Structure 1
Amino acid sequence: MSIQINTQEFEVTEHFLQYVQIDTQSDPYSESFPSTEKQKDLANLLLKQLLELGIKDAHLDEHGYVFATIPSNTDKKVPTICFCAHMDTSPDCSGFNVKPIIHKNYQGEDLILPDDPKQIIKESEHPDLTKQHGNDIITASGTTLLGADNKAGVAAIMDAARLLLKHPEIKHGDIRILFTPDEEVGRGVEKLDMKKLAADFGYTVDGETLGSIENETFSADEVIIRIQGISIHPGFAKGKMLNALKVAGKLLDSLPKDRLSPETTSEREGFIHPVAIQGTVEEVTLHFIIRDFNDDKLKDHEAELKNITETVIAAYPGCTYEFIVHEQYRNMKNVLKDFPKVTEIGIEALERLGINPILRSIRGGTDGSRLSFMGLPCPNIFAGEHAFHGKQEWVSVQDMQKAVLTIMMIAKIWEEKA
């Protein structure tokens, strides 16, 4: 049995257009939580809208998490299901003054973004656009990212909540809604109260292509290398100065050129990726992210990076370094393999809606990666977001609508099988 919702009933696009205009960019160098206070601007709006829907327990906690419950409307004892999306946008590209544009009835033409005509979204460079002919595509204007990652998921969950309350004939158990800050900087569920969440299983709504469901992510660590040189007045530096900037440059140049980088890997290959550098002649700090699907290979990559560092430093007597590893998240398949029903119901929901399921691994991570290890098995389902973290980010209106239906169908199937 499918779900009968008229196209005119959806409000996901209106929600999305509103949310992306709120700057929620997170900051990886901030020590506060959330890392930027402006993320709470969206959190407060979501709280207001949830309360207006009549969800009485909706609230925002001191850490910036938004919680809400759609109460069960069935006599069955159904597992409590959580749907989660993150409110922040990537630090990699500005999220300030986003101007969303709807390109109606896309037919394969180049999408030239008006505020920077050099930004051209071409079907040849974005293959998923070949499946979007006749759909409505939303982009930014060329100077910012769009924020579909993950406000498409936020909007889909909000509209699914509204429609489930509007259509009590669709039976479901308790549904928890969770909106998180700081996912983009790897801290999304760091301060989450799991007892308060009180869910049995979950789904993040933070995926790309229509029909995709992901039950495997990278495992991820951060490595910080701090290089200590010797600074002295350049007029008197001969034989005395050790320029930490030059040492850092040598280290970066010593990284593998044809492997172990995002630009040279695909599918199940991991990488060592420098993401930021700060410093002076005296001290430089390098930030790396290390990724692989296999935890042992992750450690191998870190060992290779440390060996490169030691080799470079050895050529500069008197120069010292620190090598600091921070665990970020682990491959959620290590947990989800023991709870196959969660993924299976996601796949069944797609099939019932006539959507071709695409079960795959994601070369990245979601809040679900950490939630799975915190006791909430949590695969990731599509939200329709594409080309994340850049000015050519886009999303399809029709894909967002199908994400809404997928959320509703998952809730329905859990009730049926209870």
Structure 2
Amino acid sequence: MRKILTLCCLLGLCWPAWAQAASWKAVLRYDKQAAQTDLIRRLQKYTALSNETAKGRTALAKGLAKELKNIGAQQVKTGADGSVSALLPATSRQSVPALALGAFLPPGPGAEARLQAKYNGGDLWVDKAQNLRLTEYDNPQLLEAHGHDLLLAPNADGRAGAAVLLTLADYLLGHPAIAHGPIYLFFMQDPHAPAPVQAEYAYVLNGGRLGEMVTETFSGQSFEAVFEGDLRPDPGQAMGSAFADNLLMAADFQTLLPRQSRPENTSGRRGFVWVTQADTRGAVSTVRGIVRAFDAQEMQQLSAQVQQAFQTVKALNPKNKKSSLQFKEEFQNLQGKLPPALLSSLQAALRQEEIPAQTVALRAQNTAAALTAQGLPALELFCGVFNRGTPLEYADVSIMEAALRTLLTRSTL
């Protein structure tokens, strides 16, 4: 009898931790296929809406806000920038820090998302008329998608995240027995807009591969080189005069920038320099560009290359006295700016769902980095969207469902 009592006590001590870990699945009676059906329905509805114009952004925001209100979300708000925010009130008796979950919905046309059920390999035609097709050769992630439902849509980016978050809200609000802290949902259509919510930290659903989370991004600088010439002397009498050709100076400057440091010649952790705009108005030519690098040392080296090209142009054109070069910091690497709990709690949720974590160094800035710079530490999380920003964009519904489970588990940790 004593052994039985001891065993019962041990089970009693272990029960709360086990119950907390599995409670949401027990309460929900979770069905993966039903969850995927909900995700497909929502994503098809959202991709049908265009947000390329101010009117479209407003319509999309109002549609999301209406759906949030209908499922019982509180403090639903829309902003003039097309943002939407809402609160899922805490159900836990314990004091739990507020969590923010969001998605960035870039401008895109309304498009019908075509469902490819149970993809079984091979090429997928997106548009035969334009010879657009997905191939496993160019999209090796398709090798891992056999048996998955795929949604082909050129505007799935962001909308897939919205579908996951609305499905999450529907589940949590429909099952108040699931214990969680306050959860703020937010949706942004302007990447430069301020964060519409306040929380300890946030997760943004915009990534691709299963288990992917962006923990590092490029740092970024922009530069502007201005070359002011003197075209008043007659070109036939230019020798020995004050004649200075600003067009030539601007062209020389671009040519002197090292070709091996251009975007198409770099990959992995190598940064780049890129001229994004060059224009001339009369005697003034302006060249604008960007510098991208992961670490401060390479940023300094690439900026020095821009500076050297500028100084060489000045030396080749001694009559020019009014040229200028200015740099401006745009954003910093996300690495080292995220609180440890943001990453560790997500990794714990991934382990519970048996999803291998994949940390990514992104060769760009993202919404999470912009929010972090504003004071809301944020990390970008996978959502199953691939070929973002191209006509071959598509969403893997199985990965969307895995993101949903991960966030359900993370919300109830």
After TM superposition, the score normalised by the length of structure 2 is 0.82
Distance (Å, rounded) in 1 between the aligned partners of 2:49 and 2:229: 42
Distance (Å, rounded) in 2 between the aligned partners of 1:331 and 1:177: 25
Deviations 1:177-233 (A, max 9, x none): 1212322xxx2x4x346xxx2311211112121111222222222333344455679
Classify 1:78/1:124 alpha carbon distance in 2 versus 1 (closer, same or farther; 3 Å): same
Distance (Å, rounded) in 2 between the aligned partners of 1:325 and 1:45: 41
Distance (Å, rounded) in 2 between the aligned partners of 1:160 and 1:137: 20
Letter in 2 for 1:49: E
Distance (Å, rounded) in 2 between the aligned partners of 1:314 and 1:324: 18
CA root-mean-square deviation = 2.7
Deviations 1:293-350 (A, max 9, x none): 21343233223213223323543443854434333221222222xx212111111212
Query: Deviation at 1:165?
Result: 1.3
Distance (Å, rounded) in 1 between the aligned partners of 2:103 and 2:134: 26
2:39 pairs with 2, 5, 12, which one? 12
Correspondence list, 1:206-245, <5 A: 206-229=206-229, 237-238=235-236, 239=238, 244-245=246-247
Query: Deviation at 1:115?
Result: 5.9
Distance (Å, rounded) in 2 between the aligned partners of 1:158 and 1:243: 59
Distance (Å, rounded) in 2 between the aligned partners of 1:284 and 1:380: 39
Give 1:163's aligned residue.
Answer: 171
Unaligned 5+ segments in structure 2 are 1-20
Distance (Å, rounded) in 2 between the aligned partners of 1:104 and 1:341: 38
Correspondence list, 1:10-49, <5 A: 10=36, 11-25=38-52, 38-49=56-67
1:82 aligns with 2:100: yes
Letter in 2 for 1:109: G
Give 1:106's aligned residue.
Answer: 119
Letter in 2 for 1:8: A
1:127 aligns with 2:140: yes
Give 2:342's aligned residue.
Answer: 342
Distance (Å, rounded) in 2 between the aligned partners of 1:221 and 1:208: 26
Instruction: Say whether the 8 Å CA contact 1:277–1:287 is kept in structure 2.
Output: yes
Classify 1:72/1:250 alpha carbon distance in 2 versus 1 (closer, same or farther; 3 Å): same
Query: Deviation at 1:124?
Result: 0.9
Distance (Å, rounded) in 2 between the aligned partners of 1:324 and 1:302: 11
Which is greater in Rg?
A: 2
Distance (Å, rounded) in 2 between the aligned partners of 1:399 and 1:340: 25
Instruction: Say whether the 8 Å CA contact 2:82–2:190 is kept in structure 1.
Output: no
Instruction: Say whether the 8 Å CA contact 1:86–1:150 is kept in structure 2.
Output: yes
Instruction: Say whether the 8 Å CA contact 1:227–1:319 is kept in structure 2.
Output: no
Instruction: Say whether the 8 Å CA contact 2:35–2:401 is kept in structure 1.
Output: no
Give 1:200's aligned residue.
Answer: 200
SS in 1 for 2:74: coil
SS in 1 for 2:274: strand
Distance (Å, rounded) in 1 between the aligned partners of 2:269 and 2:35: 40
SS in 2 for 1:48: helix
Deviations 1:359-382 (A, max 9, x none): 232222222213324333222210
Give 1:266's aligned residue.
Answer: 267
Distance (Å, rounded) in 1 between the aligned partners of 2:364 and 2:66: 32
1:398 aligns with 2:406: no
Classify 1:352/1:307 alpha carbon distance in 2 versus 1 (closer, same or farther; 3 Å): same
Classify 1:393/1:296 alpha carbon distance in 2 versus 1 (closer, same or farther; 3 Å): same
Name the count of aligned residue pairs: 381
1:52 aligns with 2:70: yes
Instruction: Say whether the 8 Å CA contact 1:274–1:286 is kept in structure 2.
Output: yes
Q: By percentage of residues, which structure has more helix? A: 2
Query: Deviation at 1:242?
Result: 5.8
Classify 1:169/1:319 alpha carbon distance in 2 versus 1 (closer, same or farther; 3 Å): farther
Query: Deviation at 1:14?
Result: 2.3
Query: Deviation at 1:245?
Result: 5.0
Classify 1:301/1:402 alpha carbon distance in 2 versus 1 (closer, same or farther; 3 Å): same
Classify 1:153/1:286 alpha carbon distance in 2 versus 1 (closer, same or farther; 3 Å): farther
Classify 1:280/1:365 alpha carbon distance in 2 versus 1 (closer, same or farther; 3 Å): same
SS in 2 for 1:203: strand
Query: Deviation at 1:50?
Result: 1.4
Classify 1:287/1:209 alpha carbon distance in 2 versus 1 (closer, same or farther; 3 Å): farther
Distance (Å, rounded) in 1 between the aligned partners of 2:90 and 2:66: 22
| Most deviating of 9-18 and 395-404 | 9-18
SS in 2 for 1:307: helix
SS in 1 for 2:75: coil
After TM superposition, the score normalised by the length of structure 1 is 0.81
Distance (Å, rounded) in 2 between the aligned partners of 1:277 and 1:123: 38
Give 2:291's aligned residue.
Answer: 290
SS in 2 for 1:381: strand
Distance (Å, rounded) in 2 between the aligned partners of 1:45 and 1:289: 37
Distance (Å, rounded) in 2 between the aligned partners of 1:257 and 1:156: 42
Deviations 1:374-397 (A, max 9, x none): 333222210112122222222212
Give 1:353's aligned residue.
Answer: 353
Distance (Å, rounded) in 2 between the aligned partners of 1:73 and 1:301: 51
Distance (Å, rounded) in 2 between the aligned partners of 1:292 and 1:170: 44
SS in 1 for 2:158: helix
Distance (Å, rounded) in 2 between the aligned partners of 1:163 and 1:210: 22
Query: Deviation at 1:280?
Result: 5.2
Unaligned 5+ segments in structure 1 are 27-35, 90-94, 141-145, 414-418
Instruction: Say whether the 8 Å CA contact 2:51–2:110 is kept in structure 1.
Output: no
Give 1:329's aligned residue.
Answer: 331
Instruction: Say whether the 8 Å CA contact 2:253–2:309 is kept in structure 1.
Output: yes
